[in-house]
Structure 1
């Protein structure tokens, strides 16, 4: 009868590309691992490994067996680690990918502030990514993306979160020269200051005077009278109140963009990741 421990030692030997390396990783004697692997081969009736002086090679039967047991053993290991982790405060490193424009929003800043206050032993790394990334290959826990961008893999979870209120604005000086449009169809002759995300909201054939994902730059240029910008409402509330920027009425004809939460579909998410996903879902799910 085969032993789960022996199957795990076989998988570790394959992952570490050798018995010596597996012995170092498990703090076991090399000779003991070698005997256990021989016992596994005897029980199964197949040679699994071809041993050489420097490394190991898998036989055809060994490759087949490793494909069958790799995922279940990983799941068991993840479940065991999660049980231990749930008995303690969440800790460790969590990597999050976000679009550059999201970093300046009150929504995201408030979420991160709350998370790090509740879970001070978690270290966060926040990377700016403009498109969908392979979360597993980049060792990233989750990604936030504009709703019109799909994840790279069908087995990733993708959930729509809140729609962000955006406002179409320009300086009073610019509008006094160009006139105030009343409908989207009238905007063809205006200069636009756009990001890749707000550009998707507008009809085709706009005259883009500047295209940048730096919302602060778009904000500054809009106040300087260089064109019309679509900016997060929370970013320009003070400017609207002071008169530095003026709201353009036809903005209500635009559909606000949504944000998607993307993460690998795993049976056992690390506790630090599960808590972030739960916070985002509880507060911002559509």
Structure 2
């Protein structure tokens, strides 16, 4: 019969609290159960460990020898457990996010990072460029943000849609002054187009593409400089429209919606600092 690790732990608690009743009370256990388990431990070890009196306990020679050799390892285990619990619940250390180039450069995402950094100044944000789904656990990545058309390699990972937006066509006022504004899709084919690699596939055959890039911010800037008409997510263009840098054209033309997916390895074991970022993303890109 082997000694149980649980019984060894109860033995340590009993010694540290100076008695069976005190140990049972401190840890919400029944005194009779603690007493019975200690008896089982002595039976397994074939020796007496405790001298029981009405008010307290004393260690036998074997009891002292056992306590000296096992108390520190259990202390180290408890310390490790406390560290893990603290790590899960604390807002410090690193938060690693894998993000596509196009989304990373968007002003709205920068606003999310700014809000998070102000709320949790002890968390170090680390951004990594990934266009495809990765093994988050092996790469030690907390969150990944991907377009919905990218297949997630691990179907056990949590996947949440956090941004849905239609696409629109945008040009600068200067560009529209120099070129006649297109009123039909046929007229659009007379203009240079700027688009992401995915959005470029939505355009009709024969479209003249001047720029294809994964960087939405780059496409937006090129459109602002009058280099063509850009196909971009409506939700990310609101600021440029308000500032008059861009004007939407062919507003009645509908393109496929885009959606971003938030991926993380476990909902159950999600650290609080990671949960806070998930919440901010949903709040910023709700709808």
Q: Distance in 1 between matches of 2:251 and 2:285?
A: 26
Post-superposition shift, 1:114? 1.7
Aligned match of 1:61: none
Residue equivalent to 1:105? 106
State the distance in 2 between where 1:279 and 1:239 align.
Answer: 23
Q: Deviations over 1:203-238 (max 9, x none)?
A: 455332211123343233323433211235576556
In the alignment, structure 1 residue 146 sits paired with structure 2 residue 147: yes
Note if contact 1:201-1:257 (Cα within 8 Å) is conserved in structure 2: no
Greater displacement, 119-128 / 246-255: 246-255
> Structure 2 regions of 5+ residues with no counterpart?
7-43, 45-78
Residue deviations 1:165-211 (CA, integer Å, cap 9, x gap): 64411244544665433344653443211122433543455332211
Stretches of structure 1 lacking an aligned partner (at least 5 in a row):
6-42, 44-76
- Deviations 1:73-92 (Å, cap 9, x if unpaired)? xxxx9986554346x64211
| Counterpart check, 1:119 vs 2:120 | yes
How high is the TM-score relative to the length of structure 1? 0.62
Please give the residue correspondences for 1:41-52 in structure 2 after superposition, counting only pairs within 5 Å: none
Q: In structure 2, do the counterparts of structure 1 residues 78 and 152 end up closer, same or farther at CA, with 3 Å as the change threshold?
A: farther
Q: Which has the larger radius of gyration?
A: 2
Q: TM-score, normalised by structure 2?
A: 0.61
- The number of aligned residues is 215
Once the two structures are TM-superposed, the CA of residue 121 in structure 1 deviates from its matched residue by 1.6
- After superposition, the C-alpha distances for 1:78-134 in whole angstroms (9 at most, x for unaligned) are 986554346x64211110011111123232122212212222221110112222222
- Give the root-mean-square deviation of aligned CA atoms: 3.4
Structure 1 counterpart of 2:86: 84
How far the C-alpha of 1:145 sits from its partner, in A, is 0.9
Contact 2:233 2:258 in 1 (8 A): no
Q: Does 1:190 align with 2:191?
A: yes
